[in-house]
Amino acid sequence: MSTRWYRSKIAIVFFHILAWVILFTLPTLFHREPDQQHINFKGMFSVRFLIFDACWILFFYFNLLVLIPRFLNRKKIGIYITLIILLLAVFITGINIFPKAGEKPGFHREYFFTIFPYLFVWAMSTVYWFITDKIRTEQLMKERENENLKTELSFLRSQVSPHFLFNVLNNMVAMARLKSDMLEPSLIRLSGLMRYMLYESDEASVTLLRETEYVNSYIELQKIRYAKSLIIRVDMDSGDNQLIEPMLLIPFIENAFKHGTGIIQDPEIDISLKISDGLIDFRVKNKFDPKNEEIKDKTSGIGLPNVVRRLNLLYDQKHILSINKENGWFTVSLQIKLH
């Protein structure tokens, strides 16, 4: 993510310079002698003013960049307070060295009013440090959360691919044992699926069109395997160029074939995908046998828990997932708002 312009180094330096110019100009702009109708810029830029303005600036950044990080931030409060008091003494001594025109060298009572601007600059410097430090800390935490999120998503994807591939290869073994003529076209489809898994699933997102093509290829593989033993109804929109997390839909379909086949009377699987105004309406429905469910769950892998976790990470407030078991039907309904 690119840095916003007002957080760039050039912008920060500009804002600092502007703040100092405004701070040192305001007293001159608002201070007028009764018989004076113009701003005394000559006095404003006198050597004495420039020296003390430079001192205030040096003190601001010395406290900001040296004293607070090395002492206050490290809980060396005693040393920090001592240095602040010593610097105040240095300022008062400096005023004595550079007296106003017509003043004799020596300590004057009004010199002690230097304490107020000194405390003001010190307070600005300290508050600025705490604000910027809090912003840096929050930004660092956000970056760490993003990195942790990327790491977790990468791990979840790495779990999906072997799990899915293992199941498909089992299908290929079954076909080879039966010497099925459909083995060759199945292998061709499998190569397309593996190409997608290897070269596209690592992307942060893929087009919905590409994802639906991948899902359809998987369904066709399963149709070849089950032939007439399973009723499969598919009604899927082709998708478009909207972006979606790769391999997000396939675990639900894989789960339907895993639990919706086997020793089940008249097995059926219904799959539908509708897309309207950036809203995906995805539904998978399969018959299941509660008696066999417990046995299959022991080897069901990480499919559904995996995808549920990914949905919560990527589409926290933009998806609705409902899973129901009723009257021998297992139904998954998922709606995702893509924009």
Q: For 101-146, write each residue's pLDDT tens digit.
A: 555 555 555 556 677 888 888 999 999 999 988 888 887 777 666 6
Cα separation values, 236 from 2, 137, 213, 271, Å: 38, 46, 10, 7
**Euclidean distance between CA atoms 166 and 293, whole angstroms:** 20
Length of the chain: 339
Q: How many Å separate Cα 327 from the centre of its chain?
A: 42
pLDDT at residue 38 above 50? no
- pLDDT score for 37: 43
Say if domain 145-337 classifies as CATH 3.30.420.40: no
Chain-wide mean pLDDT for the chain? Answer: 76
Evaluate whether 149 touches 142 at the Cβ level (below 8 Å). Answer: no
DSSP class per residue in 179-194: T-TTHHHHHHHHHHHH
What is the rounded average pLDDT of the residues 287-301? 60
Evaluate whether 331 touches 283 at the Cβ level (below 8 Å). Answer: yes
Q: When comparing pLDDT for 81 and 306, which is higher?
A: 81
Evaluate whether 292 touches 264 at the Cβ level (below 8 Å). Answer: yes
pLDDT grade for 245, boundaries at 50, 70 and 90: confident
Cross-strand pairs, 325? 330
Asked which of 22-31, 53-62, 133-142, 250-259 is least confident by mean pLDDT, the reply is 22-31
**Euclidean distance between CA atoms 245 and 222, whole angstroms:** 23
Cα separation values, 103 from 31, 97, 109, Å: 21, 11, 13
What is the rounded average pLDDT of the residues 247-259? 84
Whether this model's pTM surpasses 0.75: no
Residue in the block written with tokens 């791990």: 155
- pLDDT score for 281: 94
Asked which of 72-86, 229-243, 281-295 is least confident by mean pLDDT, the reply is 281-295
Q: Report strand pairing: 279-287 vs 268-276.
A: antiparallel
Q: When comparing pLDDT for 241 and 337, which is higher?
A: 337
Nearest 5°: the CA angle 70, 75, 80 is 60
- pLDDT score for 156: 59
- pLDDT score for 322: 93
- pLDDT score for 2: 47
Nearest 5°: the CA angle 40, 46, 52 is 115
Read off the pLDDT of residues 169-204 as tens digits, 9 standing for 90 and up.
Answer: 887 887 788 777 778 888 888 888 778 777 776 677
CB atoms within 10 A of CB 20: 14
With a pLDDT cut of 90, the percent of the chain lying above it is 13
Q: In the 8-state DSSP scheme, what is residue 70?
A: I
Residue in the block written with tokens 């690592």: 202
Read off the pLDDT of residues 201-221 as tens digits, 9 standing for 90 and up.
Answer: 667 788 888 888 888 888 887
168-176's contacts with Cβ under 8 Å and 24+ in sequence apart are 168/193, 168/218, 168/221, 171/221, 171/222, 171/225, 174/225, 175/224, 175/225
Q: How many Å separate Cα 181 from the centre of its chain?
A: 49
**From start to end of 118-230, where are the E strands?**
206-207
- pLDDT score for 273: 93
Instruction: List the chain domain ranges.
Output: 5-141, 145-337
Q: Which amino acid is at 179?
A: K
Read off the pLDDT of residues 304-316 as tens digits, 9 standing for 90 and up.
Answer: 777 888 888 888 8
